[in-house]
Amino acid sequence: MDIEKVRKIKLLVLDVDGVLTDGSVVYSDSGEELKFFNVKDGHGIKLLMRAGIEVAFITGRSSQALEHRAQDLGVRIVFQKALQKIEAYEEILKIKNLRDEEICVMGDDLPDLPILRRCGFPVGVADSVEEVKREVDYVTIQEAGQGAVREVCEIILKATGRWEAITARYF
């Protein structure tokens, strides 16, 4: 992992199913889709945002559960039904006036490859497909939906020298 790349990060872009969740799709008897989110990942996102690093979600699917999770965390940049994730990624670059090298993307599967190849710090989760693992700069120790996002949030905060200040209130 190239720490110099990590130090430039100003925005973390997350795929949802298979990164923010374990990739399971669960339906209730009424047909409502349920998603399970990890609280440690959520706290990592909150810490990152408190440190001034923004977070965005880009997913090919659509769900109300994700809308609720984004609201709960204060994530304002959410692209659902993004079948061509590169289009959403490019819109984020324009909206936020950022460059590729200032973006970290976390993905797990083939639809994520175009944005993983463009960003400054590409990350795959431990249970990513092999094609993703070959393309990224870092593969997490934790699996999707089990703390992988928190792991990357901590890496970014520590590399940018923000970890101590942002966690001081807990010590």
What pLDDT is attached to residue 102?
97
- Structural domain count of the chain: 1
User: How distant is the alpha carbon of residue 68 from its chain centre?
Assistant: 16
In a domain, 171, yes or no: no
Q: CA–CA separation, 85 vs 60, rounded Å? A: 7
User: In this model, does residue 144 exceed pLDDT 90?
Assistant: yes
In a domain, 49, yes or no: yes
In a domain, 56, yes or no: yes
Q: Measured at the alpha carbon of residue 66, what is the angle toward residues 118 and 121, in degrees to the nearest 5? A: 20
User: In this model, does residue 31 exceed pLDDT 90?
Assistant: no
Burial grade of 168 (CB within 10 A; 0-12, 13-18, 19 or more): exposed
Range of weakest confidence among 1-10, 26-35, 64-73: 26-35
Domain limits for position 148: 3-166
Write the pLDDT tens digit of every residue in 35-44. 899 999 999 9
In a domain, 42, yes or no: yes
The CATH number assigned to the domain holding 98 equals 3.40.50.1000
**Which of helix, strand or coil describes residue 167?**
helix
What pLDDT is attached to residue 28?
83
What pLDDT is attached to residue 142?
97
* Closest-CA residue to 44 (of 138, 153, 136, 141): 153
94 vs 35, more confident: 94
In a domain, 28, yes or no: yes
Q: What mean pLDDT, rounded, does the chain reach?
A: 95
User: In this model, does residue 58 exceed pLDDT 90?
Assistant: yes
What pLDDT is attached to residue 25?
84
The mean pLDDT value for 138-164 works out to 96
pTM, entire model: 0.94
